[in-house]
Amino acid sequence: MNTPFFKQLTILGVGLIGGSVALALKQAGQVSQVTGAGRNLNTLAEAIKLGAIDQATTMEEAVSTADVVVLATPVGQFPRIMQAIVPHLKPDAVITDVGSTKSDVAAAAREHMGKHLPRFVPAHPIAGAEKSGVSAARADLFLGKHVVLTPLPETSPDAIDIVERLWQTCGAKVSQMTPLMHDQVFAAVSHLPHLLAFALVAELDNRSNAEQLFGYAAGGFRDFTRIAASSPEMWRDISLANKQPLLKELKAYQDQIAYLAAILEQGDGVALEMLFQRASIARNNWNKSSGN
Amino acid sequence: MNTPFFKQLTILGVGLIGGSVALALKQAGQVSQVTGAGRNLNTLAEAIKLGAIDQATTMEEAVSTADVVVLATPVGQFPRIMQAIVPHLKPDAVITDVGSTKSDVAAAAREHMGKHLPRFVPAHPIAGAEKSGVSAARADLFLGKHVVLTPLPETSPDAIDIVERLWQTCGAKVSQMTPLMHDQVFAAVSHLPHLLAFALVAELDNRSNAEQLFGYAAGGFRDFTRIAASSPEMWRDISLANKQPLLKELKAYQDQIAYLAAILEQGDGVALEMLFQRASIARNNWNKSSGN
């Protein structure tokens, strides 16, 4: 067996994503030692038991020997964690994250990473929203999934290469965008649908006949609203962090619904069928091309 | 084995729904003979091969000996079919349908069923939107599913009993509403979500970077937009047939989205989390209670 590429990996926040990164690199034989840190000691004990991490310690100690540090806590904790770890990082350590929004993470890094800023590579793996916690971690979670890197102008090319290699070793398809482009794309294809699903369920739940309505809801409703069961706290943070692109998406969608209501009001069956057909064809094509 | 309750059943339009009704009653040993009729001879031949129907003939002949007639063609064909079959029906034949909208079917029945109106029981089985065609028919399609009967004031109680028995024999949970109440409930929990999903996919597909957007769409998008792959023609007809309740739902949803955009614009994290939490709790409770 070849020598593992990654010597000392440190995961801060060992949940579904952090745990799965560790398991994937271990299964590939590409990491020598994984150290975990986080606020919940039970989680860390479980992560050791599951073989995701080899040991657990404090954040400061965990990063002091790390070649690569993965920030996998909720994004809201990043500024505080960056401040805490910066004094303890090795000079050439590479730091990356797994947050769902990137402009805010880039801004936090610029503010708090100090001389380590060129070694910080913001990243977003597109996987695993339904479950959470290290008990759901899997070595194949990222297999065939997208991971978007959003390096800054200052980011060092060799740090980008190392993070790209980490995700490729996990089986992911790695691409790059600017943080803003990333946030605009995911406002459209992820954040907007979540808000729309939350909005529908909350609106129906607020009615006097909510019980009757939910009683007759079936398969279409089930799929459409599945993401409305997502974490309210996480989606509050994502919404606020990605406020401007998301407001722009909401506006575009409001315009589309206003158009749809207008052609329905006019009884314009041709226009309705054209809109439905455009959607149906695009959705069927996406289904074939994405394997989703 | 007991004598089957249903002697001569006739299915007009032997697709997924019509074929599944026939298979379910046959499997329960509760129908002596099933005759099918429809425009597509290949479909009828396949339905015979699959054992859904025993024989196929013209609509007029098929209904002339029927005790129960099930209209299972697209709703748009109902007026023409009602006119065609009324002169051939036995005096005490019971007629029912499987259309997704009920006020329009009730109106068509009132206009075209003549002296047979009291024997016509409008019905809507809530099942099987994803696939279509008799090849997808299954005896257990309606097991545990809702079927809503929407009798008119004129409808004879014993005709209602017979249709209720038919669906209970298929394993369905049968309830009753007025046609208008039915259309209002399904505007909210079925028709609105379909229109919202069509609208999102059509809007994204219309952008210059559509390919990039769809390229990064993942699991949440997949579930949210699955119903956007539905039949454009069918949903054009449903939308037009249920125009007023659906316009009311679109308006309520537009108000909700405007509220959501306003609290996001204000950066009101508390209000955002409250809305998301209300939705998340309702969706999780529904999931548990519905088994969906």
Q: How confident is the model at residue B131 (pLDDT cuts 50, 70, 90)?
A: confident
Band (B291; pLDDT cuts 50, 70, 90): low
Q: How far apart are CA B32 and CA B12, in angstroms?
A: 17
The model's pLDDT over B63-91, given as tens digits with 9 standing for 90+, comes to 999 999 999 998 989 999 999 999 999 99
Q: How far is CA B24 from the centre of its chain?
A: 17
> pTM, whole model, 2 decimals?
0.91
Query: Which residues in chain A are contacts of B247 at CB distance < 8 A?
Result: 261, 264-265
Give dist(CA A37, CA A40) in Å, integer. 9
User: Which residue segments constitute the domains of chain A, with CATH numbers given?
Assistant: 6-177 (3.40.50.720), 181-290 (1.10.3660.10)
| CA trace torsion A29, A31, A37, A40 (10° rounding) | -10
DSSP state of B146: E
Residue B232 tokens read as 């454009």
Q: Do B280 and A217 touch (CB under 8 A)?
A: no
Residues from chain A contacting residue B206 (CB–CB below 8 Å): 278
Q: What is the pLDDT of residue A1?
A: 57
Give the per-residue pLDDT at A130: 64
Does B250 sit within 8 Å of A261, measured CB to CB?
yes
Taking all residues of chain A, what is their mean pLDDT, rounded to a whole number? 95
Convert the pLDDT of each residue in A136-174 to its tens digit. Answer: 999 999 999 999 999 999 999 999 999 999 999 999 999
Residue B128, sorted as left (phi over 0), alpha (psi -120 to 50) or beta, turns out to be left
Nearest-neighbour CA in chain B from A100: distance (Å): 13
C-alpha A216/C-alpha B190 separation (Å) is 9
Residue A245 has pLDDT above 80, yes or no: yes
Chain A hits for B130, Cβ within 8 Å: 219
Best probe of the B interface among A183, A224, A250, A255, by most B CBs < 10 A, is A224
What is the pLDDT at residue B2? 73
Residues A110-116, mean pLDDT to the nearest whole number: 97
What band does A288 get if pLDDT is binned at 50, 70 and 90?
confident
What is the per-residue pLDDT across A114-130, written as a single tens digit (0 to 9) for each?
Answer: 999 999 999 999 986 66
Q: Which of residues 212-271 of A touch B (CB under 8 A)?
A: 212-233, 235-236, 239-240, 243, 246-247, 250-254, 256-258, 260-261, 264-265, 267, 269
Note the pLDDT tens digit of each residue in B14-31.
Answer: 999 999 999 999 999 999
Q: Are B149 and B121 in contact (CB under 8 A)?
A: yes
Interstrand relation of A146-149 and A123-125 (parallel, antiparallel or unpaired): antiparallel
Please give the Cα distance from A130 to A147 (Å, whole number): 17
Task: Please state, as a whole number, how many other Cβ atoms lie within 10 Å of the Cβ of residue B244.
Answer: 14
| Structure ipTM | 0.91
CB distance from A144 to chain B under 8 Å?
A: no
Give B130 or B285, the one with higher predicted confidence: B285
pLDDT at B183 over 60: yes
CA dist., res. A137 & res. A200, Å (int): 31
Average pLDDT over residues A94-110: 97
**Consecutive H or E run containing B75:** none
pLDDT for residue A291: 57
Are A136 and A111 spatial neighbours (Cβ–Cβ below 8 Å)? no
Q: What is the pLDDT of residue B288?
A: 84
Does pLDDT of B138 surpass 60? yes
**Which tens digit of pLDDT belongs to each residue from B85-117?**
999 999 999 999 999 999 999 999 999 999 999
Q: What is the pLDDT of residue A290?
A: 74
Residue B136, pLDDT > 80, answer: yes
